[in-house]
Chains A and B, each alone.
Chain A
């Protein structure tokens, strides 16, 4: 039998387990071996998003709207895909600035404005109250239902009993005590609550398991699987209507879109989400895994929502049982005591998880951004002189936790009955969505200013209050209902649910449209008009350009002034306690190559900034700034100086970009120069070789000429025959010299492009005949037989007659030179093929070695008979011939085998 004491015992046992987990995780954290330092725990802790609202309310919503419950889970899934851009930036900024809460983040971005932090805190607390009351309602309702077992009785029908009221109050008080024990055991400079995170991750597992258990029980225990359940639901006309994708939601597409957007904002800006995602994050890299793990969790906890909703609707007569309680009442109706108890514990875990994290996040905000700034400004309290403020800080936080839960209870009492769970939750979502413009604008737009943020937040919040909170209070009977129906003072245009005549939308969509319009309009408009202060300028730059700055010292460059290390230490010790301050200073001194305590420690801008950041972790950035300013004499940075610092930084970036580019250009230029230099060197070597070869070739005939002239001069007695021989040699060598000089000049003209080419139509038949005739004397002397193989007609080619004759004469004289002495044969052939004339000159000499064939057309490379010595000639003839042929678009080559003669051939293209 399930009875009150047993249920309560189970609940306390569960809380005890949670506390044990938290205690263990804290111990491990203190020992430096954290259990939560992995992406899985991080992802599970993000699932604090799924509260009692999800656990009970999704089914409630699905039972009336079908798939209308989905946008609340589609939104986060969409948003988390963008986290790599958005959340990674928020994380980096928060870590660099020791941000402790959402209020701190916004205050810090807009010039460390205490006023802004306070306003954000107020909005967050008021906005979240409905959400907290929702958890209280869920826990107390589920308890009241369970305790009636085996009867199923809705609490409403019990009437206004003291017991009903008491339950919610007790729940609130117990949760407050539990949260205090969890979250305010000691003061952590970074606001890390590792024990709490471990417990939350555990709770995420419990609620998922409990929900899946009910889902499996309903789907496979009560019915025969999804198919069976959906078939039966489809048979019911009312349920079938809910299965059309968008039919379930009042307002259709527009509402879907707005609910999705709303949830996208909620996953970022609910104080508890900011707490677990940003403040409790230990390692930026965990984010990348959470980006896909979290959506998987969302999917898992939503799979059985529709089956349970349909099961409940099929099982219970309409109106008898509140759909929000199907998760619990279905197992109860089937007498599944253990399952019902598990569900109660699952719902409890969903609710406690939310309440613990939310109130810790809110209490940090209340303490750091609301109470402390006020207390520190009240000089009569003389807080500056108190040696240790840690006790005060913890006290404020504990008070805030109790206060927030009691306010939640109050809201529950005032308005809790008028709305379903989901609607209560959405009111809170709409409230925190007001933070979206100032946060997102703040990290991507440097132009956003403090004044703009203030106006935007206040305008958005005012519209939210008017269109959502006021109607909630009116419907609960605390305000005249006429306010909704006729508008204030009977002005229809100002009706809270149809502002300026905008009707036909559901309440949330209506409120979102107007509040976002007011919020974004005021934020952007005022930001554009109001000029920012020095502090705002600096913070905007630090936030928006966070990825361009190196390390935590980024903020130090903006500070100028003097301070004493001892005073800074005392300040830190007052807020963090002596041990923590000692640790902080030791760490700083170590990183800067010094020792603490050591009076030589430089109290420079960097140390001041370091202390401010440490302090910000405990009391928020705005208060930290005030406190540091009280011990450090700061020289105000003028707006011009700040611009200078900022400009310097951006100019350095620009310069380094330019330098990089320059150095790349230089490298390229150097490579080009090196290549050019190599080419020049090679050309130089070639020129050297050429000059040296030419001089050698000139000296050889000169040597003979000089020797013989000298002989003839000095030996007049030389007989006539010898004299004639010697003079003949002199003549021949002179001719050789002349020929060589002419060819060198010719070559240099061709190579430098200065040669004159006279083009005309050339008949190659005729030209070959002329050339052979010209050589006839040589052929006769050497008894060489010449065969001509010329077709009757060939097309004419365009070329320089004299040049082509030069080529022919060169080939013919080469052939004559190498012919077999006495039995020489030369065959000249002309062919017309493939658009070109081919001319061949074949001899029956010794042939050319393949190695020589490759170089025979190079300058001064001759193939000679090694036995008979050097061939006659300059070694330039073939080279020049090939140049000429190539000038007219032809080709020249040699075909030869040793012992089989050589065949020189060239082509000349015709039209």
Chain B
């Protein structure tokens, strides 16, 4: 069964790149441009994994992650945070809100795909 991934980021070019990569690796990809859109998308069709940018308009990635973790039925959903903010405080904060992984931009596409695969098996 094809795994579903939601990509939430406000940088269209990064979204394009991620979409291309993940679809190439056989995942079903959906797109959200901000925090609200991301939560709506999750609600309507819960994915197996969310790639979540932190600095998004309307709702930040931290907040989206927190909402996800508040819902027991989404307990199995994996969350990977993506951020250009790479300071330790921010990484810890991301993990503390319930992310499974924190990836600093810019990242190696290969490594990212490998980590996603590892999380989904």
Residues of A within 8 A of B (CB): 692, 695-696, 699-700, 702-708, 710-711, 714-715, 722, 729, 732-733, 864, 866, 868-870
With beta carbons under 8 angstroms apart, the residue of A711, A732, A864, A870 that contacts B17 is: A711
Partner-binding segment picked from B40-48, B73-81, B94-102, B103-111: B103-111
Query: CA A705 – CA B108 in complex, angstroms?
Result: 11
Q: Assess whether B63 is interfacial by the CB under 8 Å rule.
A: no
Q: A696-B55, A699-B106, A866-B57 are in contact. Are A704 and B17 (CB under 8 A)?
A: yes
Q: Assess whether B85 is interfacial by the CB under 8 Å rule.
A: yes
Report the minimal beta-carbon distance from A322 to chain B, rounded to whole angstroms. Answer: 111
Closest 6 CB pairs of A and B: A699-B84, A707-B17, A703-B105, A703-B106, A704-B13, A706-B106
Smallest Cβ-Cβ distance to B11: which chain A residue: A700
Contact call A706/B20, Cβ cutoff below 8 A: no
Report the minimal beta-carbon distance from A729 to chain B, rounded to whole angstroms. Answer: 5
- What residues on B are CB-neighbors of A703 within 8 Å? 11, 14, 84, 105-107
Instruction: Provide 12 A-B residue pairs closer than 8 Å at the C-beta atoms, listed in order of the A residue.
Output: A696-B84, A696-B85, A702-B105, A703-B105, A704-B11, A706-B106, A707-B17, A707-B21, A707-B106, A732-B13, A869-B10, A869-B12
Report the minimal beta-carbon distance from B19 to chain A, rounded to whole angstroms. Answer: 11
Contact call A710/B108, Cβ cutoff below 8 A: yes
Query: CA A880 – CA B34 in complex, angstroms?
Result: 29
Query: CA A864 – CA B57 in complex, angstroms?
Result: 9
- What residues on A are CB-neighbors of B108 within 8 Å? 706, 710
With a 10 A CB-CB cut-off, give which of B55, B57, B58 has the most chain A CB atoms: B57
Q: State which residues 10-39 of B face A: CB under 8 Å.
A: 10-14, 16-18, 20-21, 24, 33-34
Q: Assess whether B87 is interfacial by the CB under 8 Å rule.
A: yes
Report the minimal beta-carbon distance from A707 to chain B, rounded to whole angstroms. Answer: 4
Give the interface size class of chain B: 20 to 34
Report the minimal beta-carbon distance from B11 to chain A, rounded to whole angstroms. Answer: 6
With beta carbons under 8 angstroms apart, the residue of B24, B34, B55, B107 that contacts A706 is: B107
Q: A696-B55, A714-B110, A869-B34 are in contact. Are A707 and B85 (CB under 8 A)?
A: no
With beta carbons under 8 angstroms apart, the residue of B10, B12, B109 that contacts A711 is: B109
Report the minimal beta-carbon distance from B106 to chain A, rounded to whole angstroms. Answer: 4
Query: CA A703 – CA B82 in complex, angstroms?
Result: 11
Contact call A733/B85, Cβ cutoff below 8 A: no
Query: CA A864 – CA B34 in complex, angstroms?
Result: 13
Q: A710-B110, A711-B21 are in contact. Are A704 and B14 (CB under 8 A)?
A: yes
- What residues on B are CB-neighbors of A710 within 8 Å? 108-110
- What residues on A are CB-neighbors of B14 within 8 Å? 700, 703-704, 707
Contact call B110/A729, Cβ cutoff below 8 A: no
Contact call A729/B58, Cβ cutoff below 8 A: no
- What residues on A are CB-neighbors of B33 within 8 Å? 868-869
- What residues on A are CB-neighbors of B20 within 8 Å? 711, 722
Query: CA A708 – CA B18 in complex, angstroms?
Result: 9
Q: A692-B87, A699-B84, A711-B21 are in contact. Are A870 and B106 (CB under 8 A)?
A: no
With a 10 A CB-CB cut-off, give which of B12, B84, B85 has the most chain A CB atoms: B84
Query: CA A118 – CA B107 in complex, angstroms?
Result: 110
Smallest Cβ-Cβ distance to A722: which chain B residue: B20
Smallest Cβ-Cβ distance to A866: which chain B residue: B57
- What residues on B are CB-neighbors of A692 within 8 Å? 85, 87
Query: CA A695 – CA B86 in complex, angstroms?
Result: 9
With beta carbons under 8 angstroms apart, the residue of A695, A696, A729 that contacts B13 is: A729
- What residues on A are CB-neighbors of B110 within 8 Å? 710, 714
Query: CA A692 – CA B14 in complex, angstroms?
Result: 20
- What residues on B are CB-neighbors of A711 within 8 Å? 17, 20-21, 109
- What residues on A are CB-neighbors of B10 within 8 Å? 869-870
Smallest Cβ-Cβ distance to A696: which chain B residue: B84
With a 10 A CB-CB cut-off, give which of A706, A707, A714 has the most chain B CB atoms: A707
- What residues on A are CB-neighbors of B17 within 8 Å? 704, 707-708, 711
With a 10 A CB-CB cut-off, give which of A715, A864, A870 has the most chain B CB atoms: A870
Query: CA A82 – CA B95 in complex, angstroms?
Result: 84
With a 10 A CB-CB cut-off, give which of B11, B34, B87 has the most chain A CB atoms: B11
Q: A707-B17, A729-B16, A864-B57 are in contact. Are A700 and B84 (CB under 8 A)?
A: yes
Report the minimal beta-carbon distance from B110 to chain A, rounded to whole angstroms. Answer: 7
Contact call A707/B109, Cβ cutoff below 8 A: yes
Smallest Cβ-Cβ distance to B85: which chain A residue: A696
Query: CA A695 – CA B84 in complex, angstroms?
Result: 8
- What residues on A are CB-neighbors of B84 within 8 Å? 695-696, 699-700, 703
Smallest Cβ-Cβ distance to B10: which chain A residue: A869
Report the minimal beta-carbon distance from B47 to chain A, rounded to whole angstroms. Answer: 21
Report the minimal beta-carbon distance from B27 to chain A, rounded to whole angstroms. Answer: 15
Query: CA A700 – CA B16 in complex, angstroms?
Result: 14
